[in-house]
Structure 1
């Protein structure tokens, strides 16, 4: 059921309140969901609402653990223009397990999970969630239209890897992924493997866009068609670049998990 009143977390430090908000999203039985991982100041949510047809139908859930970014996001999304949208802001780190995660704060859109000791004075331990398990609880119907945007510098690879292993990628029909550290030799092979597997299980990389281009079209009140689409990410900078993955039509037919899909295929044979 779609909520017509925006929902916000008021006290970051109140564990009970945070947990109750986390649990509330599981009770909605939403048919349209947009998840923004790493929403920074709320700009990408603003763009989603503007460029997506019938965006009012979506329950919007954002994750922004950096305290300053969280306040920026909340301030933007509490504006009058968003008052009829269902928006939940969760100040937790999307991660592999439910545990404390070292997080580099006070770096704006470059705030990130920080597993090394670089800039230790700005690294704090924040609450992380097992996103794969959380997502499986959230999506209750195979007919749910789920769109997920991922912007978590340096950590998108392990999170997407876990989703791939646990057959959760196909819960979403669309992924907008900001691939970072693309030439980092420590994660490059795994990143290429995940990209290849996304194609293998039924996602097409439709195009790439850059936030500056999207921002420019938004300011000019243009449409999604006016945004520049790139076919080769090697020709554009890494920063602020998103890859748009869309499920190919045959993949959306139930069952919507890889193992069940393979089992169904074997049964037919």
Structure 2
């Protein structure tokens, strides 16, 4: 067996959806088995099947003792291939909204007095697993399509570094899976120009408006020089991806403009993936 993925994270963050995506990508998927049984099952599969890719769903329904001993399970699994832990996380309020909409109980409902208490307790129980995570994905504002795109980017096994440039709006929350966050809210806001309000940072009038501003040009140069200097260092460190998030207030004008400008400057040297997180909110 060459590759083993452990898919875990907070209940309601999309573990089932992630496993479905991985199954579509050719992974043999097993969900909701006790952690303590995983090494034995993987060993049996390794002996009797010619599996190249295996994905294992793990959640808080494993016993507390098993979760605390995750390091031991992880090390046993490494005997059978390369092991990565995909940890899915979502902002608390979004989890509460999802559970309320689905009307399904949280797995820890019987142990806690409120949904929020369940969420906090689950974070604590999953901490030993989260500390081993090699891929962190914030699903707060992601559709299944966005999740598939993110998984494809972050599971790339080539030697090249994939740079994910993400625009977002601070009013919708900071992305939890960002490696670096740059704030461009200090730049002049096209939102206050009625001729530009319904456009985005991908439209030429907005780009012309911001490119004429000295602060916008200096901010772009500072971010570009930072990435130009450090991306080669990150690449030598055998990282497969780097998520650079750039935020403005709504995620429609300034951050989108900056991401688009950086993509054009970096794409000749680096493999670039673009995600405009708030596109569904654009006017």
Sort the TM-score into its range (normalised by shorter chain).
under 0.3
Q: TM-score, normalised by structure 2?
A: 0.26
Higher helix share: 2
Kindly name which structure, 1 or 2, has the bigger radius of gyration based on alpha carbons: 2
Structure-1-length-normalised TM-score:
0.27
For CA contacts below 8 A with separation 6 or more, give which structure has more relative contact order: 2
